[in-house]
């Protein structure tokens, strides 16, 4: 793959917010997770990956996240309580990234892993969405029991999620509507 092909994959990725029920094949999922593990880290054992493939369990997390996230602000409540809202968008696979709290920048370390997975998913034609939303499920009084149920190791904090699947609408062509940041060159 040359540089332009890599750039095409990166520019072609957009967040998917409507997944079909089609599962991601296991061999592709393994490659996506391998890419997640290959991201830079500050110290070994910086992050933990929890892979959920049971749509009923993902829906349960989505319901709990809606309830807990809705307590953050009136805007969150209005969005999450709108009819039919599902912040996991029907994704067939949900990966929760938990950062080792002994690493000061554990959220950043999870973010790097997430980005590697998004790009690799795109290269395999798998749609994705990075999301904080499912993390709200760990906010409430039942947060600890969710951590136990999902076998998140002690000392690791759920920090970010990646949702994977196949788009209900086909893959976006990427560039449309992408916000561009300002770049300052100093020479």
Show contacts with ligand FMN in window 80-139 (CB under 6 A). Answer: 87, 129-133
Counting contacts by CB under 6 A, is residue 39 touching ligand FMN?
A: no
Sorted by sequence, the CB contacts under 8 Å of residue 105 that are 6+ apart come out as 42
Nearer to ligand FMN, 72 or 102 (CB): 72
Q: Please, how many CA atoms are within 13 Å of residue 49, restricted to the half-sphere of its CB? A: 22
Counting contacts by CB under 6 A, is residue 73 touching ligand FMN?
A: no
Q: Which residue has the tokens 């904090």?
A: 157
Query: Which one among 6, 15, 45, 81 touches ligand FMN, defined by CB under 6 A?
Result: 15
Counting contacts by CB under 6 A, is residue 66 touching ligand FMN?
A: no
Q: How far is the CB of 13 from ligand FMN (least distance, A)?
A: 7
Nearer to ligand FMN, 77 or 132 (CB): 132
Q: Which residue has the tokens 């300052």?
A: 184
Q: Please, how many CA atoms are within 13 Å of residue 52, restricted to the half-sphere of its CB? A: 25
Q: How many residues bind ligand FMN (CB under 6 A)?
A: 11
Show contacts with ligand FMN in window 136-165 (CB under 6 A). Answer: 160
SS3 97: strand
SS3 115: helix
Q: How far is the CB of 76 from ligand FMN (least distance, A)?
A: 10
Q: Which residue has the tokens 């947060």?
A: 143
The two tokens of residue 20 are: 């079909």
Residues that bind ligand FMN (CB under 6 A): 14-15, 17, 87, 129-133, 160, 178
């Amino acid at each position: 793959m040359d540089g332009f092909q890599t750039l095409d994959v990166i520019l072609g990725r957009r967040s998917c917010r409507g997944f079909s029920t089609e599962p991601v094949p296991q061999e592709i999922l393994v490659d996506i997770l391998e890419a997640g593990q290959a991201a830079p880290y500050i110290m070994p054992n910086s992050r933990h990956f929890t892979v959920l493939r049971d749509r009923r369990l993902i829906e349960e997390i989505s319901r709990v996240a809606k309830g807990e996230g809705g307590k953050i602000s009136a805007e969150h409540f209005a969005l999450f309580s709108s009819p039919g809202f599902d912040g996991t968008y029907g994704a067939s696979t949900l990966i929760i990234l938990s950062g080792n709290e002994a690493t000061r920048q554990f959220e950043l370390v999870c973010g790097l892993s997430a980005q590697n997975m998004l790009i690799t998913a795109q290269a395999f034609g798998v749609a994705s969405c990075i999301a904080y939303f499912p993390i709200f499920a760990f906010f409430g009084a039942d947060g600890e029991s969710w951590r136990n149920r999902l076998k998140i190791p002690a000392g690791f904090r759920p920090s970010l999620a990646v949702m994977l699947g196949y788009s209900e609408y086909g893959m976006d062509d990427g560039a449309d509507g992408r916000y561009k940041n300002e770049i300052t060159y100093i020479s």
